[in-house]
Chains A and B, each alone.
Chain A
């Protein structure tokens, strides 16, 4: 079946037709919102007043954010959670991937699927699971800690001191498998004869790990840590759902993204929230750049 001539796409225009849905959606739902949010950062606006209620206020949204105690506290919470959940992820994922790489052949796909499962599970389901597991009097985690180590029951989710480690643990649990799979994928690209040669030379497993595996997965470590930094600084769903959208006891689990949400949708300060989002964007960009400097694979090495 041939289309009539006027419907046939000329090769000259075809690419523009093919990218037009992307261009349209990008303009409406990415570019415009971004510009608008920058505009809004200099306005005072309550959505209840309608669009006319907007008023230019210069830098005052930014000065408000910089003087705002909650802004800095939520940033500290975010950094704490990003470090406490991010660092262990990689310290566990790398050796774990090495164990799977060296000792699992037939079961490998199944093992990877199990470790990956939390990553593809709904955050709401995960938060609800852990809310019951972390519950003070009847939670499985306290029951297990009491049974194994005789520890007294801890008020994980209602104490400002304890909620951060609890959330860091959940985030660790959720993403450690994802990182393991990343590292395993990198290890699978290492040529097997490197290990064979090392074994013939009498190098121990530990030496092989140190001198073959680790250097080979360096680019992946860089990539994985960057992903963790970017993801950790945007942490929203886990603390939001676990604390009923409020940030927990004394706002101890209020991350920057949660505060941003509250500033806009609880306190109706859209201008202030927009200004904060741009300040946070600068922080995220800076920290990502620092990670880049610290972990970038150096050129000229294997």
Chain B
């Protein structure tokens, strides 16, 4: 991927004081910007450990308090938290597995096989990427209603499982990482088409599969609009929807709300901390090409 090939940063002038000033002001600006990015997260985690009364103090608390457990208990009383967390995990995992399977199959076919309407179909894939998401809102509800999938988790992971972005990513990678000659040789040796895909193509596509898995998991975990449209009952909600339902009452329990938001954020933050490089490269891959 071209992103990975980092060119050396430009050479800084001849050790002049001016260059040092530029460098330090860059550190300062980028550093302040980073604080600006992190500050809301800081307050979310701090507020998650304070009672509602303490959050509404002037000035608001800047450091951790002692009410994390109380907030968590309140959270589990108001919503079936573990159930919601479980559904979020289940939906995200199912979405990831199905997306990897379907997108790698389609991407492989689009990249390395000859068939009728190949170009036209791939054009169609690209076109769906440009379609505004609000176009789907109403018909999606009606389809789910017609299928009897309202309030069912499969409505959340099936429709997006052959995502245009995923197919695009897989096709790009397959066409550069899977040598055609290897496939021909394997076919000569009597390798069937399916084991060709399963034993040769898939292992070669591992890096791209990893990236797509991350992106799909994150999107599914954070998804708000689809559950909003199809899910009906609190015990079936995924986490974002369940947490949001906490704030609709007049007496919002801010401590519990922050605690829930923090818990919903932590898994992704950890995942991201480990994989940020690969993820960022994957998400910007389409752009740099």
Contact = CB atoms under 8 A, between A and B. Distances in A.
A131 B40 CA distance: 11
A112 B10 CA distance: 18
Interface in B42-59: 43-44, 47, 55-59
A93 to B, nearest CB: 10
B176 interface: no
Given A18-B113, A19-B105, A11 B193 contact: yes
Interface stretch (A55-63, A155-163, A177-185): A177-185
A25 B161 contact: yes
A175 to B, nearest CB: 11
A108 B26 CA distance: 13
Contact of A26 (B36, B105, B162, B273): B162
A69 interface: no
Contacts of A237: 224-225
A139 B7 contact: no
Given A99-B30, A124-B244, A26 B128 contact: yes
Nearest to A153: B58
B185 interface: no
B287 A220 contact: yes
Nearest to A104: B30
Contact of A230 (B13, B132, B254): B132
A16 B194 CA distance: 12
Interface stretch (A81-89, A191-199, A294-302): A191-199
B64 interface: no
Contact of A21 (B3, B10, B161, B248): B161
Given A116-B280, A188-B7, A33 B2 contact: no
A21 B102 contact: yes
Interface string B257-289: 110011011001100110011011001100110
> Size band of the B side of the interface?
35 or more
Contacts of A138: 55-58, 60
Contact of A40 (B139, B140, B197): B139
Interface stretch (B66-74, B75-83, B141-149, B204-212): B141-149
Contacts of B30: 96, 99-100, 103-104, 111
A75 interface: no
Contacts of B179: none
A14 B193 CA distance: 6
A29 interface: yes
Interface string A236-277: 110001001000000000001100110011000010011001
Given A33-B139, A138-B58, A257-B134, A132 B243 contact: no
Contacts of A40: 138-139, 142
Nearest to B2: A189
Given A14-B113, A22-B106, A129-B41, A114 B2 contact: no
A286 to B, nearest CB: 12
B159 interface: yes
Given A103-B26, A117-B272, A124 B264 contact: yes
24 contacts: A9-B194, A11-B193, A30-B131, A102-B23, A103-B27, A103-B30, A112-B276, A113-B276, A113-B280, A121-B222, A122-B224, A124-B222, A128-B261, A143-B60, A173-B36, A173-B40, A181-B284, A195-B10, A205-B13, A205-B19, A220-B288, A265-B141, A277-B135, A288-B130
Closest 5 CB pairs of A and B: A33-B139, A195-B10, A103-B26, A14-B193, A9-B193
Given A25-B102, A33-B142, A115-B34, 14 more contacts: A15-B113, A18-B105, A21-B102, A109-B276, A113-B276, A117-B37, A120-B268, A126-B40, A129-B44, A129-B261, A138-B56, A270-B142, A273-B138, A288-B130
Interface of B: 2-3, 5-13, 19, 22-23, 26-27, 29-30, 33-34, 36-38, 40-41, 43-44, 47, 55-60, 101-103, 105-106, 108-110, 113-115, 118, 121, 124-125, 128, 130-143, 145, 158-162, 167, 187, 192-195, 197, 218, 221-222, 224-225, 229, 240-241, 243-244, 247-248, 254, 257-258, 261-262, 264-265, 268-269, 272-273, 276-277, 279-280, 283-284, 287-288
